[in-house]
Structure 1
């Protein structure tokens, strides 16, 4: 009898311990293991989503088209392999730099993110990742990105190329504060510049050996302006998803400018994109680019605006995804232009 009682007591104790372990796993916040911590850091940089890829588009487009122009120059001995190599380096550098910027943004916004439905589960806002781990992860990504840029540019004008985008990334989260609104500064302005600037870096990756950074900026201005307004357009639609929560915690965003006529406001934002695009494409004299870039983008904008419903803020997410597809498609279109230019150079 006594033996059975002791056996039952031991069984109950084991059951109680198992219950506690299950509770810790499903409801508690255990100290993350190495694999788990790494995944949280990946999530912190948004590498589990498509968003960081937006930062790679302008640079990769610029590299590929600069390379395509160089291929048809009879005085140049550049090869397509070099063009694609530089495009790959530009892609990786921009992607990692964006990851570092995401960490900085989330650290500055951690208290605000905790109050917004869409962002409350982010690692820093939820307390899953410590500030120390986040900062070390940010610095690692930044250093690797800078080393790639140094290699891509052969060490020439690295500081001049990177300082503007580093400064903009540092300032970006503060553009969401009420003080910024008083100065008529919206976060979309800073974000647009940050994502457009790599176009200059992309040009320099091909022509930087004999072209000054000032000349590269001048050549890329139409593309930079186009990307700037493109990012403002798609990010304004994207951030409109948070309109209810933003009003509660007094966070400012560019969509407030549209007011009750937000749908028409998006139409206005598309206009400078469509105007800047031809100014850039005219330099290449390519029917393929006119069709694959100007034609496809214009048709897509019409479809996006037709399907957007200002009474359903979530529809802004659809615009964001559609423009991501446009970005990927344009990389493919520019790659085709490189191959077409190679064939043209061989023929002549």
Structure 2
């Protein structure tokens, strides 16, 4: 019996840690839904949440500089973006699994997921997706109407992404459009508008997303080639490290410009310097033929994003 079958028989998926809280605390009947939402793999909602947090931190620095920072509101926004990230990442992953059911059955890493393994029906998955989307909507309605409209607009990027791997070598770009939307939302929630600095922050997050998801996609490149799934991992191939230099370098450059336009303090730039060291570590350590290492480096980007956010918070005048 191979590893994939073993995980499926146990009600678990092959690419999630078996000691996760999902398997220790939830009844077995809820495991497939937790797996659809990726609650057993928190890295996804963390990476979705971090651009939101960057944007909140950027807006907080501007408000603090103007003497109008509302700390309670800032903390509330951070909490709402946390809840919203968990809910919408879960809804997005469920939607992606519904769309990719047939492909997932052909890929070793994904065939143990709830839909291709038959532990959840398509109808059940759709109902669960709608429930998570409803939670996200409740969160979104706590913001001003400009932010609400902006959040609704993000659904277009979410709808396109699962299909991108079928028509372009750059599906990671479309993931970036969706996953980086929070770079706009934090600012919009604070000010009811957008600024050039927030838009540049959004573009920086897109470049970051393409970089880290390329690392992630190297786990599946052999299976992807067999089933015809396209990715930047396959496109960049042996030149991946060079592309990462460009993508992560662009991320840092754009963040510097965004921070300068917003007038953030020196500590925020020290955070970017620490992030630059972390990016250099990933590029130097990357072995595109070592799937376990690719997954480890992909997850490491949550640390990188947290460092950037910490720099913004520590740059606040009262910090």
Q: Classify the TM-score, shorter chain.
A: 0.7 to 0.9
Distance 1:123 1:252 in 2: 23
Q: Do the aligned partners of 2:114 and 2:120 also contact (CA within 8 Å) in 1?
A: yes
TM-score, length-scaled by structure 1: 0.79
Is the 8 Å Cα contact of residues 113 and 120 (structure 1) preserved in structure 2?
Answer: yes
Among 15, 32, 37, the alignment partner of 1:40 is 32
- 1:327 corresponds in structure 2 to 305
| 1:56 equivalenced with 2:32 (yes/no) | no
The reply to whether residue 106 of structure 1 matches residue 106 of structure 2 is: no
Let me know the Cα RMSD of the aligned residues: 2.1
Superposed CA offset, 1:89-118 (max 9, x none): 122112211110100000110111111111
CA distance, structure 1, for counterparts of residue 254 and residue 174 of structure 2: 19
Structure with more of its chain in helix, by fraction: 1
**Which deviates more, 193-202 or 280-289?**
280-289
Shift of 1:330: 3.0
Where in structure 2 are the equivalents of 1:204-283 lying within 5 Å? 204-208=188-192, 212=193, 216=194, 218-282=196-260, 283=262
Q: Deviations over 1:140-182 (max 9, x none)?
A: 11111112111122xx1355312332111111111111xx13x
2:287 pairs, out of 282, 296, 309, with 309
In the TM superposition, what whole-angstrom CA distance separates every residue of 1:62-101 from its partner, at most 9, and x where no partner exists? 1122123212313x3x431221111111221122111101
Query: Counterpart of 1:287?
Result: 266
Equivalent position SS for 1:241: coil
Runs of 5+ consecutive residues of structure 2 not aligned to the other structure? 1-7, 12-25
Equivalent residues in 2 for 1:170-185, closer than 5 Å:
170-177=159-166, 180-181=167-168
Q: What is the CA distance between 1:245 and its match in structure 2?
A: 1.0
- How many residue pairs align between the two structures? 296
Provide the secondary structure at the position in 1 that maps to 2:275.
helix
1:169 has 2:158 as partner: yes
Shift of 1:41: 0.8
Asked if 1:199 corresponds to 2:199, the answer is no
**Corresponding residue of 1:70:** 63
Q: Deviations over 1:272-295 (max 9, x none)?
A: 112212101213341111112x11
Matched residues in 1 for 2:199 and 2:95: separation?
A: 28
Shift of 1:126: 1.0
Deviation at 1:57, TM superposition (A): 0.7
- Higher Cα Rg: structure 1 or 2? 1
Q: Cα distance 1:27–1:189, how it changes in 2: closer, same or farther (>3 A)?
A: closer
Aligned equivalents of 2:61, 2:240: Cα separation in 1: 39
Give structure 1 stretches of 5+ with no counterpart: 1-25, 344-348
What's the counterpart of residue 18 of structure 1?
Answer: none
Aligned counterparts of 2:248 and 2:60: Cα–Cα separation in 1: 28
Q: 1:161 to 1:137 in 2, by over 3 A?
A: same
